[in-house]
């Protein structure tokens, strides 16, 4: 049982997704129960898997022939198989995705009441979860592409799910078009690499890649596609559309998909391409892109009038922080301040996911209570929705990185490492946090404070079942804020070590040193 965890964690959501339409025929209550039990099981399997990785090291799970020669003639030394390879970073990302998916599912169950087609909704949500987890676990380039596409297709279907509003459709097709083009470029570069090395396995590729022109092209295509999927400026425009127009549970899962693309970026850069490929301008360019992302995200959020869109632009800036840490680590190598920067970046992946998730859940509660997302028509909700206001206050402090919330710890790591490379980097990072603080305070005022509006007098806190996921995320924010060293020791450091030890990743598959 234990050794099949990596397969189960993908198979279970897939199975649930395809069972959903059948289950839905029995009764809607049973469907909810089933969805809840399944997400709970996935979460338990995920935690067991992470525990397994932390106690035993890299897990290798083979679909197909474990040894070369079992399916092909013995003279042909190519194993026909797909492997899942889970190291510290993969385990970390599994935790992030599971937190988001679990809270999203929890929130979705009471959020949708009269909406039609909920079978398909849950089916797509589980499919999206399978796609995200697959991206994080797989050790195979083509497999990564397939899971990337599964995630994109189900995510865009989910974004466009509420077809009553025209904006959701627009956001859905934009997301689908741009991510399918991105995925095609990814596939093209997988083709390039396969043509050159006859290998699709990440470890095999990592071993054989050299500094040729084709490899550089492949790296560039992959980087472009994954940077786009991670919402890095100037390719970030899909992100506010998608985040803002999707319903909050979907947004949470799309955040997880974005973070999974960031994981892909880390994996490609540090494990596969890092030591062998030498593109001199690349780290500087990545840092420049991250600064542009931070700047655009933080300034654009100030002029938004739609609640979710303002939060989404702040999410763009947060992705910029992560990439800033990654870029610094690329520039300086994963040692000294580069290692601290990478630590900060990876820690920020978790913090960003939780903070943004909570913000969108709050926005969802506000929408549910008022059916309004335009901040000009909102106001004075703190009297009637006290719990929501307090959770928003927590999320506000966390995502603008005020002490003692979790955002401060990871941003501190980023500030105090990037300045060593160039002081301007951390100056811009600090400035952008203040801008983000400003937008969140503005949101707080225009939604929760001020005189009470007459048409919003019957706004209420959402039902208890929806408060629980918000409570879970708030508690996580405060816990990670007060005991950041716990999270760093237990989760972030294994992830960073697995990136430092790229040889370990390779030798777990191929053997030898």
- For 194, other C-beta atoms within 10 Å of its C-beta total 15
User: ω into residue 150 within 30 of 0, thus cis?
Assistant: no
State the minimum distance, in angstroms, from the CB of residue 126 to another protein: 16
- Please tell me whether residue 40 binds another protein under the rule CB under 8 A: no
Kindly tell me the sign of the dihedral angle through the C-alpha atoms of 86, 88, 94, 97.
negative
Among 454, 511, 512, 513, binds another protein (CB under 8 A): 454
Which C-beta is closer to another protein: that of 97 or that of 152? 152
In the region spanning residues 334 to 353, those forming contacts with another protein, defined by CB under 8 A, are 336-337, 340
Q: Where are the alpha helices (DSSP H) in 84-210?
A: 88-111, 118-137, 141-159, 166-197, 202-208
State the minimum distance, in angstroms, from the CB of residue 150 to another protein: 8
- Please tell me whether residue 488 binds another protein under the rule CB under 8 A: yes
Nearest to 154 by CA among 313, 13, 8: 13
| Contact assessment for residue 271 and residue 207, using Cβ atoms and an 8 Å cutoff | no
Which C-beta is closer to another protein: that of 59 or that of 324? 324
Beta bridge partners of 85: 60
- Please tell me whether residue 324 binds another protein under the rule CB under 8 A: no
In the region spanning residues 57 to 116, those forming contacts with another protein, defined by CB under 8 A, are 72-73, 75-76, 78
State the minimum distance, in angstroms, from the CB of residue 207 to another protein: 18
Which C-beta is closer to another protein: that of 78 or that of 465? 78
Spell out the residues 6+ positions from residue 390 whose beta carbon is closer than 8 angstroms to its own. Answer: none
Residues 338 and 359: their CA atoms lie apart, in Å, by 30
Residues 59 and 509: their CA atoms lie apart, in Å, by 10
State the minimum distance, in angstroms, from the CB of residue 33 to another protein: 29
- Please tell me whether residue 485 binds another protein under the rule CB under 8 A: yes
Among 29, 67, 116, 281, binds another protein (CB under 8 A): 281
State the minimum distance, in angstroms, from the CB of residue 84 to another protein: 17
In the region spanning residues 160 to 199, those forming contacts with another protein, defined by CB under 8 A, are 160, 163, 166-167, 169-174, 176-178, 180-182, 184-185, 187-188, 190-191, 194-195, 198
- Residue recorded with tokens 């592409």: 145
In the region spanning residues 350 to 409, those forming contacts with another protein, defined by CB under 8 A, are 375-376, 378-380, 382-383, 401-404, 408-409
- For 74, other C-beta atoms within 10 Å of its C-beta total 8
- Please tell me whether residue 209 binds another protein under the rule CB under 8 A: no
In the region spanning residues 220 to 279, those forming contacts with another protein, defined by CB under 8 A, are 220-221, 223-224, 227-228, 234-235, 237-238, 240-241, 244-245, 279
- Please tell me whether residue 500 binds another protein under the rule CB under 8 A: no
Which C-beta is closer to another protein: that of 4 or that of 386? 386
Q: 500-507: long-range contacts at Cβ-Cβ below 8 A with a sequence spacing of 24 or more?
A: 500/334, 500/339, 502/206, 502/270, 502/271, 502/274, 502/275, 504/58, 504/87, 505/58, 505/85, 505/87, 505/202, 505/203, 505/206, 505/271, 506/203, 506/206, 506/207, 506/271
In the region spanning residues 128 to 157, those forming contacts with another protein, defined by CB under 8 A, are 142, 145-146, 149, 152-153, 156-157
Question: How many residues touch another protein (CB under 8 A)?
Answer: 120
């Amino acid at each position: 049982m234990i050794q099949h965890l990596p397969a189960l964690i993908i198979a279970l959501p897939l199975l649930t997704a395809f069972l959903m339409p059948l289950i839905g025929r029995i009764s809607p209550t049973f469907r909810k129960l089933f969805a809840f039990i399944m997400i709970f099981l996935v979460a338990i399997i995920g935690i067991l898997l992470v525990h397994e990785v932390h106690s035993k090291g890299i897990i290798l799970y083979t679909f197909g022939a474990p040894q070369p020669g079992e399916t092909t003639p013995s003279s042909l030394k190519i194993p026909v198989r797909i492997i899942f390879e889970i190291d510290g970073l993969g385990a970390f990302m599994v935790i992030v995705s599971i937190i988001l998916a679990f809270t999203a599912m929890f929130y979705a169950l009471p959020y949708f009441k009269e909406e039609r087609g909920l079978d398909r909704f849950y089916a797509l949500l589980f499919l999206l979860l399978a796609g995200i987890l697959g991206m994080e676990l797989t050790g195979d380039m083509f497999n990564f592409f397939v899971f990337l596409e599964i995630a994109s297709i189900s995510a865009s279907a989910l974004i466009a799910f509420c077809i009553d509003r025209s904006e959701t459709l627009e956001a859905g097709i934009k997301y689908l078009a741009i991510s399918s083009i991105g995925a095609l470029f990814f596939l093209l570069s997988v083709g390039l690499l396969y043509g050159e090395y006859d290998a699709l396995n990440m470890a095999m590729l990592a071993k054989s890649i050299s500094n040729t022109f084709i490899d550089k092209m492949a790296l560039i295509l992959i980087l472009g596609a994954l940077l786009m999927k991670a919402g890095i400026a100037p390719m970030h425009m899909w992100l506010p559309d998608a985040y803002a127009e999707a319903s909050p549970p979907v947004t949470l899962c799309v955040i997880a998909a974005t973070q999974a693309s960031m994981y892909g970026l880390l994996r490609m850069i540090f494990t596969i391409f890092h030591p062998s490929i030498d593109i001199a301008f690349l780290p500087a360019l990545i840092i420049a892109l991250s600064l542009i992302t931070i700047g655009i995200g933080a300034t654009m959020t100030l002029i938004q009038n739609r609640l979710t869109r303002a939060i989404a632009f702040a999410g763009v800036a947060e992705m910029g922080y992560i990439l800033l840490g990654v870029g610094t680590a690329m520039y300086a190598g994963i040692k000294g301040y580069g290692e601290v920067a990478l630590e900060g970046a990876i820690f920020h992946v978790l913090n960003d996911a939780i903070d943004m998730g909570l913000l969108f859940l709050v926005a969802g509660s506000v929408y549910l209570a008022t059916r309004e997302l335009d901040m000009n028509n909102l106001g004075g909700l703190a009297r009637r929705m006290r719990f929501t206001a307090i959770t928003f206050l927590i999320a506000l402090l966390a995502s603008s990185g005020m002490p003692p919330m979790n955002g401060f710890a990871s941003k501190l790591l980023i500030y105090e490492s990037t300045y060593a490379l160039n002081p301007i980097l951390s100056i811009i990072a600090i400035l952008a946090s203040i801008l983000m603080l400003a937008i969140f305070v503005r949101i707080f005022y225009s939604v929760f404070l001020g005189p009470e509006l007459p048409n919003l007098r019957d706004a209420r806190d959402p039902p208890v079942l929806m408060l629980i996921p918000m409570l879970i995320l708030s508690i996580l924010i405060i816990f990670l804020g007060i005991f950041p060293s716990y999270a760093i020791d237990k989760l972030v450091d294994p992830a960073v070590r697995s990136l430092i030890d790229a040889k370990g990743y390779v030798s777990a598959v191929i053997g030898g040193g």
